[in-house]
Amino acid sequence: MPEIKVTPLGAGQDVGRSCILVSIGGKNIMLDCGMHMGFNDDRRFPDFSYITQQGRLTEFLDCVIISHFHLDHCGALPYMSEMVGYDGPIYMTHPTKAICPILLEDFRKITVDKKGETNFFTSQMIKDCMKKVVPLNLHQTVQVDDELEIKAYYAGHVLGAAMVQIKVGSESVVYTGDYNMTPDRHLGAAWIDKCRPDILISESTYATTIRDSKRCRERDFLKKVHETVERGGKVLIPVFALGRAQELCILLETFWERMNMKAPIYFSTGLTEKANHYYKLFITWTNQKIRKTFVQRNMFEFKHIKAFDRSYADNPGPMVVFATPGMLHAGQSLQIFKKWAGNEKNMIIMPGYCVQGTIGHKILNGQKKLEMENRQTLEVKLQVEYMSFSAHADAKGIMQLIRMAEPRNMLLVHGEAKKMEFLKDKIEQEFTINCFMPANGETTTVITNPSVPVDISLNLLKREMALGGPLPDPKKPRTMHGTLIMKDNSLRLVSPEQALKELGLNEHQLRFTCRVQYRKTEFTIFIVFSSSYLVKAWLVLKGYTIQHLPDGTVMVESIVIKVSSSAEEPNTKVLLLSWSYQDEDLGSFLSTLLKKGLPSGLSSM
Amino acid sequence: SYNTSKPLPQEEAPAKKLRLTKPSKSAALHIDLCKASNPTDALQYLLHFARSSVEAESVEGVVRILLEHYYKEQDNSVRLKIASLIGLLSKTQNFNPESILDDTLNTFNTEKSHQVLAQLLDTLLVIGTQLPESLIVRHRLIEVAYKHLSDTYFGVRNKCLQLLGCLGNVDTPLNKDGQGLVPAVIGDAQSLISDYFADQDPRVRTAAIKAMLQLHERGLKIQQTIYDQACQLLCDDYEQVRSAAVQMVWVLSQLYPESIVPIPSSNEQVRLVDDSFGKISHMVSDGSWVVRVQAAKTLGNMLQVSPHFLEQTLDKKLMSDLRRKRTAHERAKELYASGEFSSGRKWADDAPKEKVDTSAVNLIASGACGAFVHGLEDEMYEVRIAAVDALSALAQSSASFAEKCLDFLVDMFNDEIEEVRLQSIHVLRQISTNITLREDQLDTVLAVLEDSSRDIREALHELLCFTNVSTKECIQLALLELLKNLTKYPTDRNSVWKCLKFLGCRHPTLVLPLVPELLSTHPYFHTPEPDMDDPAYIAVLVLVFNAAQSCPTMTALFSDHTFRHYTYLRDSLSHLVPPLRLPGRTQAPGVSGIEGSGSVESAQLFLQQSLSRISTIHNLQDPGAQDLLNFTIRDLQRLGELQTELAGAADFSATYLRCQLLLTKALQEKLWTMAVPLCLKHNAMATAAAKQMLEETYKLEFLYSGLENRQVATIHHVRLQAKALQLVLTARTRRGVEPLISVCEKFLQEVESFQRLFVVELPHLQESFVGKLLDLSPKLSACKPGELVKILQTTLRQSGFLNLQLPKQVQRASATIIEPTGESDNPLRFTSGLVVALDIDATLEHVQDPHNTVKVQVLYPDGQSHVIQPKPGDFRSPGPHRHRLITQVYLSHSAWTEACQIEVRLLLAYSSSRLCKAVWSDSSTEGLQPAEGATEGTIPFGKPVKVFIMPKPARR
């Protein structure tokens, strides 16, 4: 039986280092190739030795597809392609291709230059790796080879995030990557058509959450910022460079514009500026509003948001600063925080989740005194706000996507096992489809029932049409006679004559015959009732033609019914019945009728 | 190559029908088509031919030629073009397509190409829709449609279904009565069409649903049995099918709202309208935005839905890590209820509380659950707008739902698209009679006051005018924000003041405790007197004075200067400051008299009394009648100034009476007896009077809204009088009969059309000028011009005074140009010959259909004038009966030596034919040919504004 196998190397009942292997129709595909934020050792990257113990991966993989530029989805890519070794095509969307190397380079810098790790991929490796990338457009079907094709769908989440459909013949798998079903200020909602894949591999970060309307969140956020600025306070918003940062920028920018506000907004420089540049370029990947208005003004050409300089932090008066990193564990955001923490007029807004141990986590939990390096303590007087702006689909969103795509099987990755369990139950219950949630290294096998396309000869079709009957009803199967020829990797259905001709064979007739013996008296009765009346009535009813030949033989299509008396037993009459195999149904029906239509105890055949 | 031959006399037309006498279009076409050597050429000729027009008489001939070629032609595309041309030709005016029907039907016998068949069916559709009356034609067409329904090409099936939808029987099948005119299958178009709901081609499925909807529109009652099928189509793979299915389900829900349908997989049952509401709600989260828009719109039209289901649409159970979580809305409400509004901002103050029962969580929105929550958050603003509109419609019909959807609408004030924000503000205004804003909601609403878009701010002011609030803190908050708005955008002055006026009017008791603080009075100390010119101070005063109107104790809290300021404002901003009863205060004389009893009722009474006093006049020539008219006109004018509610009615009556006065003066007896040369001056006066009367009648007719047929008749009556007067005057001054004849004829025509238009009103007009004239009417048409003039003259003088009956509400159209203010001394400089854009901002009140009627006129000092028609998009409608015109007019002129003022004014364009149709649409409209004095013109309204401009010579 044909089957599809899915094995997560990462992100199986886990978040981080997404890497999923799919075998479909004899093709092997790697979906995403990410790193794990939580580890600094070998566990940081997926275990590629699962694919092969030694040597390069090229011959084991047909292609690699990267869904978006977050490092937990693409962080291991240069390692995989350059250090382990892979020369095949890597597919990603245009924005991802543009932004991915920036993030990889940043990641490399931090690990190598700052943490001093060795045996890590180099800048050159990133460049070499990116050379193997084939860009994808939305809804463009890309033929990886003759049989394997992939197609990207819009996924929301971050700029350039895509869901991918992988298709071999009539078998298909959809991988969602990370996606968002509710639009935000700069991106639209994920969308997919009713492609009915065999397996839908979905992320399930928020498997057990149903989120409130984003409008309340936005309004709260704006109100808080607005009030603080009006009070003359400073607002610090620690963000990661890409994704949420842009959404919040747009939100504030439009608010400033609408409300005619004057207080400056700053964005910490470096990485971000480069990324903003790409946001400006890839307008088609953004939401309706930005797409429609970019002719007048590109929303990413911020009017109110300027680059930040270290010295600005000491400026008097209100201001809003976006600074990296998002969890306040190092860098600019931490520096600014230290400066502003003492003033209760100021505010810090944490727009996302903070890992345990970071300062962000501490202050969110209400810690008022922080121990800093050099045994100093920092008193936190400023207001601390938490505002979740996460761009993953919530439980309802996931269900909505399933409803859109109508998959035959469901597979959950990129989430916590316990939460997945809940969602899995729900999916099985609501959609009555199988749902899987393999752990890393565990293989899920789904048996598919692919339809096999067969070429049918036009003549055969026309003949079938000419035979009459009602027009073909697309909803109901219809039987027809023909010969299936399997030759040169192709299947054809042709008429028997043509098949014979092509194969150079002679036609052989195959007939079944049977004899039914009657006693004479019975026979007369039979003749009266069965032969001429019953049979005829029934046959006419079914629309068959009946011929009476001069010698008393009756022919129904190819069936011959002949009466003869046997020499040995004059008291009996013998009914000869003969039919060709094409009329097997009718023939066997007749023979049983003839036998059953008589009193029991008669010999036959 | 337009054929200019004159139309033949009617009797001849049928005789010549079949013969082609002259080398007409058809002959030329014939030759062209014969010349065509290949299909491409033929197609070219046909395309060329399609551009020219064919007169009705030769259509049949042309069709015949076309068909002749049709049968010869091998090429499908040419035949297709011919088929489409026949359809086009059948639409020729005055041509009866029945005559070509047979020929067209014959083509079906030979046609093999599916595309051409589809086109032929389309042609039949065109022909059939033009002959809706003929049952036989319809049956024949339906028969054809039925025959081709099983075609393998989707286009043919499509067209057949379309035909069935447009022409299918909507009455009960005829064969029941044994008429046998139609086979049973054809009679029952409905079941036939519903068979195609399951067609393999989505386009055919769509066409089938549309045909069914068409049948419904034509009055067929669709059977409920289709409901299940329609619901299944909601899950179709194709968006156009789903979109049409939404409509279908809606139609059924309106037809059978109360029937009961079972809920699958349970024993329960629901009303059909509720069931369909749930299903359509489900479509709000469809994959295609077209369907989502359709679904959201449709929800707004399902007012019969049960409240329980309705309220589900706003429901969204929140959950976080399997714990039930309260929505921000719920939290806000609780915070408000517990009294600590501005809360402690803790992390996770939205932390989930109770544990959710996993089996109870329903992740798929079943039924209506959260439909609007989804719709309002949709990616496409079209969907969001549709959802907002639907909310509005549903909220207006259910007060409890209005209360519930408030939070969501308020949230929409923050939408990224201005249109959506604006729409939600409008919607909130519309439902605001049903609701009272909580403080936290008001806070969110007020935040929008800082919006930089003027439209938004003004819509919000409008909203605040209609808003109810619950506490005095709310009033304070609103005032504070409005003052902030005022400082940030000083141009909003008028709007803010008006807003505060209504706020004060609505909440006198809430304002009362705030008064000392607002006016910064102190029990012991004198506080400095505030600056009277400060817009903010005026704003506060407007609020306080309007509250004081219905709260007599408030005035005791005023300090001396407050009273002084009151007197000043009452005079300068009388529309914002109401009359107050101030105990022990002497007031400006004259004002208090009427104001003391200045209620609308008493003014109304006064108006009625004045009019009934006038009605005692029987004949205008009576002594003292003129004086009475004069006084009454004066009274009415003053009344209009003082009582804005009645300004329309008072003005209207005064203008009418002035017309009568003018007429009376013009007809003064002693002057008419004099010889013509002796009274040139009088003649001039009378001519002027007649002209003015005419102008006034147009103003009466078109400037006032709320008039009924009765009043319009009265106005037209005055107009007839004026015209009669003109006629008499013409007869007196001109020599010779010739010119008179045509004038007389025209007048008689007008009398006739008056008679026709106001048949209903004639009994009321017995004693009047027209009444008397119509008594003489058989004689009139026969008599000579001289006699007619004499009759008119005497009738005019002898006829009685026609009383004016006032309708319930008369409103005078008015316009105020807000910008340019006309105060600027800085001329607008521009290079001569080039253009400069002048921003115009005006409010229009009680103008019907301003998009077509309101124009801007620019008058240059040299007498040149331009009339500019603003774009439809320049008009906004901020409130009922109110419009706002924000537009730009382009000015240009040759060079001037110094700056000079130009005048900008607004004109109300009218055309009597247009209005006639609007008013008497049911009665004889054909009598209103433009020839019968459809006068078009413009009435200036509103004060003109002067603008300094300075075109400079171009520098070389």
Interface test with B, best of A256, A368, A396 (most B CBs within 10 A): A396
Cβ B348–A403 below 8 Å, yes or no?
A: no
pLDDT band at residue B324 under the 50/70/90 scheme: low
> Is the CB of A258 less than 8 angstroms away from the CB of B287?
no
Instruction: Spell out which residues of chain B touch residue A188, defining contact as CB-CB under 8 Å.
Output: 379
Higher-scoring residue by pLDDT: B470, B5? B470
pLDDT at A503 over 50: yes
Q: How close is the nearest chain B Cα to the Cα of A157, in Å?
A: 13
Q: Is B351 on the interface with A (CB under 8 A)?
A: no
The tens digit of pLDDT for each residue in B612-640 reads: 877 777 666 677 778 888 888 888 888 88
From the list A82, A171, A203, A247, the catalytic residue is A203
Mutation target among B327, B343, B363 for the A interface, most CBs of A within 10 A = B363
Over 50: is that where the pLDDT of B22 sits? no
Q: Calculate what percentage of chain A has a pLDDT beyond 70.
A: 90
Q: What is the pLDDT of residues B402-451, one digit of tens each?
A: 888 888 888 888 888 888 998 899 888 888 876 788 888 888 888 888 88
Q: What is the pLDDT of residues B881-904, one digit of tens each?
A: 888 888 888 888 888 888 888 899
Give yes or no for residue B792 having a pLDDT over 70.
yes
Asked if the C-beta of B363 comes within 8 angstroms of chain A's C-beta atoms, the answer is: yes
Alpha-carbon gap: A192 to the closest alpha carbon of chain B (Å): 7
Interface check A396 vs B, CB under 8 A: yes
Q: How confident is the model at residue B294 (pLDDT cuts 50, 70, 90)?
A: very high
Task: Kindly indicate the confidence band of residue B178, based on its pLDDT and cuts at 50, 70 and 90.
Answer: very low
Residues 440-469 (B) with a CB less than 8 A from some CB of A: 444, 447, 450-453
pLDDT the model gives residue B179: 45
B344 CB neighbour count, 10 Å cutoff: 7
pLDDT higher than 70, residue B544: yes
Lowest mean pLDDT among B256-265, B345-354, B642-651: B345-354
Tally C-beta pairs within 8 A across A and B: 118
pLDDT over 90 (residue A124): yes
Give the separation between CA A329 and CA B937, rounded to whole angstroms. 76
Contacts of B379 in chain A (CB under 8 A): 183, 188-189, 287-288
- Say which range, A260-269, B112-121, B128-137, B728-737, has the weakest mean pLDDT: B728-737
Of A182, A366, A419, the CB nearest to B377: A182
Check A260 against B365: CB less than 8 A apart: no
What's the pLDDT band for B21 if we cut at 50, 70, 90? very low
On the question of pLDDT at B160 being above 50, the answer is yes
Alpha-carbon Rg for chain A, nearest whole angstrom, is 37
Work out the percent of chain A whose per-residue pLDDT is above 90: 30
Stretch B212-229: mean pLDDT, rounded?
88
Q: Angle A244-259/A271-281 helices, nearest 10 degrees?
A: 80
Q: Which residues of B touch A191 (CB under 8 A)?
A: 287
Instruction: Let me know if A203 is a catalytic residue.
Output: yes
Residues of B in contact with A213 (CB under 8 A): 316, 327-328, 373, 376-377, 408, 411
CB B119 within 8 A of CB B145: no
- Cis peptide bond N-terminal to A472, omega within 30: no
The reported pLDDT for the residue numbered A536 is 56
In whole angstroms, give the CA distance from residue B273 to residue B259. 8
Query: What confidence category does residue A6 fall into, taking pLDDT thresholds of 50, 70 and 90?
Result: very high
**Residue at token pair 């007939």:** A511
- Name, of A549-553, B20-24, B74-78, B346-350, the range with top average pLDDT: B74-78
Kindly report the nearest CA distance between residue B196 and chain A, in angstroms.
12
Q: Among A193, A209, A385, whose Cβ lies nearest the Cβ of B320? A: A209
Residue B17 pLDDT grade (very low, low, confident, very high; cuts 50, 70, 90):
very low
Q: CA nearest B61: which of B106, B16, B121, B102?
A: B16
A383 touches chain B (CB under 8 A): yes
Q: Residue A97: what residue type?
A: K
Residues 132-171, chain A: which have Cβ within 8 Å of B?
none
| CB atoms B285 and A365 under 8 Å | no
**Residue B919: pLDDT over 90:** no
Q: Cβ of A426 and B488 within 8 Å? A: no
B149-168 in b/e burial notation, b at 16+ Cβ within 10 A?
Answer: bebebbbbbbbbbbbbbbbb
Whether B348 and chain A come into contact, CB under 8 Å, resolves to yes
Largest CA distance in chain B: 109
Contact indicator for A223, A213 with CB cutoff of 8 Å: no
Looking at the complex, does the CB of residue A262 fall below 8 Å from at least one CB of chain B? no
To which residue do tokens 């500026």 refer? A273
Nearest to B377 by CA among A471, A219, A95: A219
Reported as type and span, the H/E element at residue B569 is helix B560-572
Give the model's confidence band at B336: pLDDT under 50 very low, under 70 low, under 90 confident, else very high: low
Average pLDDT, chain B: 79
Q: Give pLDDT tens digits for B254-286.
A: 999 999 888 777 778 888 988 898 889 889 888
Using a CB–CB cutoff of 8 Å, tell me whether B290 touches chain A. no
Do B198 and A384 count as a contact with CB atoms less than 8 A apart? no
Helix boundaries (H) for B709-760: 709-733, 738-757
Lowest-confidence region among A45-59, A432-446, B224-238, B569-583: B569-583
Q: What angle do CA B780, B786, B788 make, to 5 degrees?
A: 25
pLDDT of the residue at A434: 94
Report the chain B residue with the minimal C-alpha distance to residue A476.
B200
Whether pLDDT at A109 is above 90: no
* Residues B70-77, mean pLDDT to the nearest whole number: 87
Of residues B347, B373, B447, nearest to A384 (C-beta): B347
Angle between helices B226-233 and B202-217 (to 10 degrees): 130
Flag the least confident range among A268-282, B192-206, B938-952: A268-282
B198 touches chain A (CB under 8 A): yes
Mean pLDDT (whole number) for B334-344: 42
Q: Do B380 and A182 touch (CB under 8 A)?
A: no
Facing residue for B381 by CB, picked from A208, A288, A350: A288
Q: Is the pLDDT of residue B784 over 90?
A: no
Quote the pLDDT of residue B11. 43
- pLDDT for B863 equals 86
ipTM at complex level: 0.79
Q: Which of B328, B345, B415 sits opposite A385 (nearest CB)?
A: B345
Q: What average pLDDT does this structure show over B236-265?
A: 90
The confidence score (pLDDT) of residue B737 equals 65
The verdict on a CB contact (< 8 Å) between A209 and B321 is: yes
Provide the pLDDT for residue A270: 63
CB of A258 less than 8 A from some CB of B: yes
Query: pTM (2 decimals)?
Result: 0.74
